[in-house]
Each structure stands twice: as C-alpha cells, then as structure tokens.
Amino acid sequence: MLRMPFSVATWNINSVRLRMPIVERLLLEQAPDVLCLQETKVPDELFPEKAFRKLGYEHIAFHGQKGYHGVATVARRPIEVVEKRRFCEIDDSRHLSVTVRAGGKAILLHNFYVPAGGDEPDPEINRKFRHKLDFVAEMNAIRAEHDEVSGSILVGDLNIAPLEHDVWSHKQLLKVVSHTPVETERFEAMRLAGNWVDLMRLNVPHEQKLYTWWSYRAQDWEASDRGRRLDHVWSSPNLVPNFAGYEILRPARGWERPSDHVPVIARFDLE
C-alpha cells in the first residue's frame, strides 16, 4: 500500500500579524501540510486570512481574542472544525481541534496553548499558577482517540518542560514555573491518562537536551543556550508506526523579529 507523507508544524508565534513575514518564510521553506499557531493575539475578524491563502493555505480555522492568547490551524488540505473547548470556565482562546484526512485516516488534531502560570509557583498566592494547574487537570479529558481508520495528534505550546533534560538546568529550574515538580508530575500523569505518546522523545535519549524556547531576556540566546522544551507533539499509539521523525527549527530563533519559540515540524507516512 502506498504511503502518503503528512507533516504538521506547531509554533507559538507571539502575534501572528506582527510576525507574518517569518510565518511566510516558514511556509515557503518548509511547506508543512498543516501549521498550528499559538498566541496569535488577534480577534477572528482580523486574522490575516489573505496572506495564508496567497501561500496556498486555503483552509483556515481560528479561535482568537483581542491582544491575548489565541490559536489557529491553517492547512493546504481541507479541515473541519470539531471543537473550540472552554477550559476552567474562562473564555480564553486556548484550544482548537479539527479533523484532517491523510492517507486513509481521519486525524483529529488538537492545537493547545496552555497558560504560562505567572512567576510564583504557589497556587495559594498566584491565581495564574492555580489556573495553569486546573487547566492541565481538565486536559485529562482529552484522550488520544483512535481506531483502524482514525488517529489523534496533539500539538502546541504546553508551557511545561516535563523531563530533566527538557531544560538547561534541572537543578536551577526546579522552583521555576514550567519545570516545578507539581507541574511536571501532573503533566505526565495527564499525558498517560489520555494514552498520548510523546513523539519528540520517542527515539531521543532522555539524557539528550531538547529545547524549543529561549527567553528574550538573554543577551545572546545562542551562546548561553538556556532553553526549555515547552512545545510538544503527541499522538495516539496507532500513529507511532507512521511517525517519520521531526525537526526543531532552531535557526528560526535568530530570524528577524523572532518569536521566543521556534517551530517544530513532525512528519508522518500514512497508509
């Protein structure tokens, strides 16, 4: 049976309108079948649809709001919106799921932007951190649905670096939001509860450093290399045999007016 290449990119773009030139560069150079964006920071009526359509991404779904948060999924093939889920009884735009057909499968594709959680890792005094923990708890309901003719993929800026070598210094970041034990333990428990496979670590040793984010605060991000893996690609177990690898586009952190996150592109060969 012929296999069909299928690629999904995920990128926290930190304002899609401001950074449209580098989004265009990504699409022209890498041409993923689907691009999932987070932190688009634009209400739906102002989303730059024309720019995407001009590049061949004519299938567009978004869940946005003015100035904050927001997710969008654009594709070169038809997509159908399944859900824009509300979390924690708060009307933030942090989730969008669509279906897309690839090979002989219907793929349910979740696009997430998990709350950052503020600076103080104490839910009793920091409501942002409490919100983050509550959000992750509600994500337990997002399951890796699959059968013989369908599968699930979950991508996005999940704002947690779960493993020791997903950060530049495990010891120094244990009390820093995104790598505290309460976050990493609940995050991994949620992933396992949903039967999700962490594709980025599938064939990469846990002792190998993996980063997708470098702070704007660093004077020379590349030299200091104090990164974190905050962006993730998961799938249902039945898609693992079709997983053909991924790329973290580290050079994009040095593009003009960059996001502090870089794109991750996952590739599949689907029957």
Catalytic residues: 113, 157, 261
Count of C-beta atoms within a 10 Å radius of residue 135:
23
Residue 157 annotated as lining a ligand binding site: yes
Question: Does the annotation list 170 as a binding residue?
Answer: no
Ligand-binding annotation for 33, yes or no, is no
Does 195 appear as a known binding residue? no
260 annotated binding-site participant = yes
| 261 belongs to an annotated ligand binding site | yes
Known binding positions: 12, 39, 157, 159, 260-261
Known binding positions for Mg(2+): 12, 39, 157, 159, 260-261
